[in-house]
Structure 1
Amino acid sequence: MSQLQNRYDFVLLFDVKDGNPNGDPDAGNLPRVDPETGHGLVTDVCLKRKVRNYVTLSRPDAEGYDIYVKEKAVLSAQQGRAYAALGLKSAPAAEDDDTPDPEETPAKPAKGAKPAKDAKPAKGPKGKAESGRKASDRDQIDRARDWMCSHFFDIRTFGAVMGLKENNAGQVRGPVQLTFARSIDPILTLEHAITRMAVATQKEADSQGGDNRTMGRKNTVPYGLYRAHGFISPQLARQTGFAEKDLELLWESLRQMFEHDRSAARGLMSLRDLIVFRHESPLGNAPAHRLFDQVHVTRLHADKPPRDFSDYAVRLGDLPAGVTVLRPAA
């Protein structure tokens, strides 16, 4: 696959109507909110999950497009596939485990003994200071890491921490990074009482005398337009193998991710715009924040609360030289 040659920055606009875009489990699954401003939040992890789910749906058996972080996955077992495929022995301990490094943690002297002056690390059999990991172990980890990048789309896209004690595959810094999404205006969180005409157990039915009602709660946002930002580094893409074909799939996933994520809580979530800034230079032709500042999203009617995307206008300002705009969502 052809390597990525350009840097990209992008703005993602999506909205929700009468739904919960990203519930907070620490707050009774209420929509996430900035408590100081009242603006709604959607985590980057939530957005990446939808991309992963779309790739799983659209490329179920395609080689190189498996998903590492998926429902009910055992990550050490996922990494074990690399060890089995490469014929590697059982994995060494992770670099960040609790085993002391002999170069950093000198042995304690015996009780009453004075430490030697200018003590040096113990020498290995070839006269070199012993390190916490053999060169063969590092090579094994590197091979496993490269295998994982080539077989798992989300690893070569978003990166992964795979430095487990079992089947250690190191760490990968992904070329694609996403921010939290924040609503353009403060959101209103509503709580609704709901009734289910059934109960879970016979004991509940007996206690209600056959009425068989169960009360519950549902939390929604009447309307919210959210904005997230993304970054793509061609330098990191070369390290993970993220190529032009993967970039096309990323744009496709961002366009389609809400179309295949319907639920009672997220029935009306839609991608409204995807504005991509393509740099001519791999290092970039302008700072990302300058480009993002040229995307203006404004409310058309200040005297009433927004309830639809048509209540907003999206305008793009002037761009610096060397930057072009793509609209993959158009």
Structure 2
Amino acid sequence: MIENKIDFIATIVVNNANPNGDPLAGNMPRTDSKGYGEMSDVSIKRKIRNRMQDFGHEIFVKSRDRVDDDFYSLEERYLEHFKGNKNDLEVEKGVLEKWLDVRAFGQVITYEKKSIGIRGPVSIGIAKSLDPVEITSMQITRSTNGMKPKNEKSRSSDTMGTKHVVEFGTYVIHGAVNCFYAERTGFNEEDLNVLKEAIQTLFINDASSARPEGSMEVKDIYWFKHSSKIGNVSSAKIKGLLEWDRENDMKEQYEDYNLRLNEEKLKEYEALGLKVEQLEGI
């Protein structure tokens, strides 16, 4: 079992890509009311689940294009393994033993008139860019018809579209692992190492027309290990450790931010038992 609370901070660089489109805004990159870029926690967990699956682990919530068991709904996947089991405790235990993403993020089981809520130990917040992002939109056309037009020489109505990208941005992910919830779900040190590697390799096998290969990269990961289950300092104080140069408004590359941890505060927290490991994305 995990005996030490974990916090982590990961930085992500975006170059001419759409890190997370908003379906209610024509799939434009998500931004807040002040123009800062956002990636939803759901999109980040999706990428982590995909990496878990790439590593050979069984996961419950699979993307439709990554289904490898012929079950295209969660209900079908659940019923294949637990149909007719009347005991909620046995179902919960079986689900946690079988699927890594449930041990990590939790799940609500509502099949066969059940209502089992599992709270996962891994929490991840919405990723935000350090500066407001510039979004470029371009019109795109196809050189062929997707559907047969009424006039053979004309184009069908599906040949026009719009593509949106963030020209450049640096996003920050904050997350934590709660020891008490990990004890309940069985999330252990081996699972924790899988999570760490998944974050390091977040964009491997994630390329698409919106995110071409090399357009998104994990740069730095700060991995904080507390000396107790409850933690030496709060997760909010851990978030406050990250600093960067705010004066330069014309940042064109990651190095222009001069990202680092506040050394004075870090020494204070290390004196309380906090340990930090800095990793690079792979």
TM-score, normalised with respect to structure 2 = 0.88
1:82-124 residue CA offsets vs partner (Å, 9 max, x unmatched): 425xxxxx36xxxxxxxxxxxxxxxxxxxxxxxxxxxxxxxxx
For the residues of structure 1 that align with 2:94 and 2:158, how far apart are their CA atoms? 54
Q: Give SS of 1:206's match.
A: coil
For the residues of structure 1 that align with 2:15 and 2:242, how far apart are their CA atoms? 23
Q: Give SS of 2:152's match.
A: helix
**Residue of structure 1 equivalent to 2:27:** 29
Q: Is the 8 A contact 1:79 1:167 kept in 2?
A: no
Q: Is the 8 A contact 1:144 1:169 kept in 2?
A: no
- Extract unaligned runs of 5+ from structure 1: 60-64, 85-89, 92-136
**Residue of structure 2 equivalent to 1:173:** 119
**Residue of structure 1 equivalent to 2:273:** 322
Q: Is the 8 A contact 1:79 1:169 kept in 2?
A: no
**Residue of structure 2 equivalent to 1:68:** 60
Is the deviation greater in 73-82 or in 218-227? Answer: 73-82
**Residue of structure 1 equivalent to 2:77:** 78
- Flag the structure with larger Rg: 1
Q: Is the 8 A contact 1:42 1:180 kept in 2?
A: yes
Q: Is the 8 A contact 1:17 1:307 kept in 2?
A: no
Report the aligned-residue RMSD.
Answer: 2.1
Runs of 4+ in 1 over 4 A off after TM superposition: 210-213
**Residue of structure 2 equivalent to 1:189:** 135
For the residues of structure 1 that align with 2:182 and 2:98, how far apart are their CA atoms? 15
Q: Give SS of 1:49's match.
A: helix
Alignment of 1:34-73 (within 5 A): 34-35=32-33, 37-59=34-56, 65-72=57-64, 73=72
Shift in Å, 1:310: 2.1
**Residue of structure 2 equivalent to 1:312:** 257
Q: Is the 8 A contact 2:135 2:166 kept in 1?
A: yes
Q: Which amino acid aligns with 1:327?
A: Q
1:250 aligns with 2:195: yes
Pair 196,4 (structure 1): closer, same or farther in 2 beyond 3 Å: same
Shift in Å, 1:189: 1.4
Shift in Å, 1:207: 5.4
Q: Is the 8 A contact 1:299 1:313 kept in 2?
A: no
- Extract unaligned runs of 5+ from structure 2: 65-71
1:175-195 residue CA offsets vs partner (Å, 9 max, x unmatched): 000000011000111110112
- Paired residue total: 266
Q: Give SS of 1:290's match.
A: helix
Pair 205,328 (structure 1): closer, same or farther in 2 beyond 3 Å: farther
